[in-house]
Structure 1
């Protein structure tokens, strides 16, 4: 059996590895020229942590994880700390089953893990686009010069993100399915800023501000990461001709001196996208199926996008892996959706509830968040807050990263 996976992100790579271990031949098509270097720090816990443990990936993930003692909020005018969250207490609420990972590091671990499959069973093709005009037997087009060789795939997995081309080919324009939550998020990493790295090495610091929030933290090898969240989406008057660095400098300029220094070094093409969820009535058609954010985007407000991508990919491979004909594959895809959709819907509901906590729209709600975080140092309140975070959004999801 042969599968074509469109997208070499977390859902795509995890699906490819698990299917190859089940005896499939898999080709992964990725339009980017190589693994992505952008992305922000993520809390990795819950169902994805459990799946990674079953997949034997935890030792490698622990090697690339970061140790974060606390998330600090600061007053943008004075730089004074206003509140903090003890990260160790959050980890304790999860029984220690928590990792802080940069998205590019997680992707590289999954890419390296393809070597666990039989030799030549997985092939990753970078710089290859998906062309829906070249339809294969599975109902998906496979462009970039590989269409002829892959057109007979027994399964096509659309793991090409929230703006999925596979989904568009199957079900129509994304405006029907992508539900913006009124926010945007940007992230990038800079090098060669030793003064900033010295100030923020081992720290995760966020501005305690209304309608926009900037985060800064030091990484390995002297790098410094920026995370920027602000109100706005594709439908509220953003200038489509304004490039991302210009927009970020306009929105965040003057917010806090360390952020101004980061904005001076903003690369030409940082990650900058709408914060949204994906809701659609069906995830597959024939033997073509959507995976990851293409069908189950929970948004960074839910704090478990990477976790859900890997757990969903494991379930997909577990159910489809034993199939040996198209009818069995299609039936298995229906079972994946029946089992996984309620889980996705629960996480999406948690993400919607977190919107005003994540980025307070006014000073009253900012103060409410600040008081809640300060009260979390009290034993009883602490337990309630940490259980709430563990059961819904991640710590840095609540904090703005």
Structure 2
């Protein structure tokens, strides 16, 4: 059996790993010229740990990852206005939690790819054509045209090319039919500045602000990872994202103006949104990860869900005699988990970056209450959700 995977991000690389491990011949194509260095810090926990265990990379993830002992919300002078410890949360997930840069998580998966996987950067899918098969879904194929001129014939095409998936557009129609904007834009980059010593090790430091907020974390090489999230009614990316970013966050005070001096000409910037689709597959084409059901960074666990979803997809393909039946079973099994986290993402939008000063004060109160043992367990359980459930 042969599969073409479009996208060499977390979902695509995970799909390539599990399919190859199950005996598939896998070709991965990625539009970017090489692994993308841009990305932000994520908290990796939940169902992805089981998938990582199947890959044998949990040790590598811990090696590349970071320990976060505390989250500090600071005012314009850098003074802590509220904080949150990690103790109650880690009690819920044990040691199956680390913070890691998205490119580093991709690195861990890429390092573990079976040698038989063919990985081609600077290449993407330009054409898709289905070949009819026998009744019951047997014998069908999909012809895949690539930008380098090659023509591949496969049993399965996996669209794992992110929230702005070209595979989805080619097979299921325009992005606008499935794109649900959540009212935020986000940008991220890393920089070095020896004069900025106010970001301690093993802590997230976040501006205690409404409308927009900046998140800081010191990396082990001494550089600082910064993430900016701001509310906006404008769905489309601004024409000059660097100028927009600097204008929106300069007013926050503390380290923000200095950090913005290091904002590069090109950096990660996107809308915060979800993808809601009535179905994830058509014939021999299936969508995976953000291409199928992006949950947004507000929900968390997007990377974890991408890895676990790839594991479930490969598992169902191994369990069924024909591909269409396997894709239907995959969606029936995995869609409820994705829907659960999409719902959480919509709820999180209310407090992730508060809209008003009043909402900001309510968040401070919430953070004080969460330190109460009973409340802490309740809230942590709601955040973790079905982390321990098998995929």
Q: 2:129 matched to 1:127?
A: no
Q: Deviations over 1:366-399 (max 9, x none)?
A: 1111011012222222222322322289xxxxxx
Match of 2:92 in 1: 93
Match of 1:380 in 2: 374
SS at match of 2:251: coil
Q: 2:341 matched to 1:352?
A: no
Question: What pairs up with 1:1-400 in 2 under 5 angstroms?
Answer: 1-75=1-75, 77-114=76-113, 117=114, 119=115, 121-132=116-127, 135=129, 137=131, 138-139=141-142, 141-148=144-151, 150=152, 152-191=153-192, 193-196=193-196, 199-232=199-232, 234-235=234-235, 240-241=238-239, 243-321=240-318, 328-391=322-385
- Please state how far the C-alpha of 1:139 moved relative to its aligned partner: 4.3
The whole-number CA distance in structure 1 between the counterparts of 2:285 and 2:143 is 6
Q: Which stretch of the first structure deviates more once superposed, 374-383 or 32-41?
A: 374-383
SS at match of 1:196: coil
The whole-number CA distance in structure 2 between the counterparts of 1:3 and 1:357 is 41
**Would the aligned equivalents of 1:184 and 1:233 in 2 still touch at CA under 8 Å?**
no
The whole-number CA distance in structure 1 between the counterparts of 2:178 and 2:143 is 19
The whole-number CA distance in structure 1 between the counterparts of 2:39 and 2:341 is 21
SS at match of 2:154: coil
The whole-number CA distance in structure 1 between the counterparts of 2:97 and 2:252 is 32
The whole-number CA distance in structure 1 between the counterparts of 2:176 and 2:217 is 34
Q: Give the TM-score, by structure 1 length.
A: 0.90
SS at match of 2:195: helix
The whole-number CA distance in structure 1 between the counterparts of 2:177 and 2:110 is 32
The whole-number CA distance in structure 2 between the counterparts of 1:249 and 1:210 is 17
* Cα distance change, pair 281–139 in 1 and its aligned pair in 2 (3 A): farther
**Would the aligned equivalents of 1:140 and 1:166 in 2 still touch at CA under 8 Å?**
no
**Would the aligned equivalents of 2:199 and 2:217 in 1 still touch at CA under 8 Å?**
no
* Cα distance change, pair 212–198 in 1 and its aligned pair in 2 (3 A): closer
- Please state how far the C-alpha of 1:322 moved relative to its aligned partner: 5.7
CA RMSD of aligned residues (A): 1.9
Q: Which structure: greater helix fraction?
A: 1
SS at match of 1:227: strand
**Would the aligned equivalents of 1:347 and 1:392 in 2 still touch at CA under 8 Å?**
no
- Please state how far the C-alpha of 1:142 moved relative to its aligned partner: 3.2
Q: Deviations over 1:260-286 (max 9, x none)?
A: 111111111211111111011111111
In structure 2, list runs of 5 or more residues that go unmatched.
132-140
The whole-number CA distance in structure 1 between the counterparts of 2:303 and 2:38 is 14
Q: Which structure: greater strand fraction?
A: 2
- Please state how far the C-alpha of 1:234 moved relative to its aligned partner: 4.7
How many residue pairs get aligned? The number is: 378
Q: Give the TM-score, by structure 2 length.
A: 0.92
**Would the aligned equivalents of 2:237 and 2:271 in 1 still touch at CA under 8 Å?**
no
- Please state how far the C-alpha of 1:318 moved relative to its aligned partner: 1.1
**Would the aligned equivalents of 1:312 and 1:340 in 2 still touch at CA under 8 Å?**
yes
**Would the aligned equivalents of 2:144 and 2:154 in 1 still touch at CA under 8 Å?**
no
- Please state how far the C-alpha of 1:232 moved relative to its aligned partner: 2.0
In structure 1, list runs of 5 or more residues that go unmatched.
394-401
SS at match of 1:269: coil
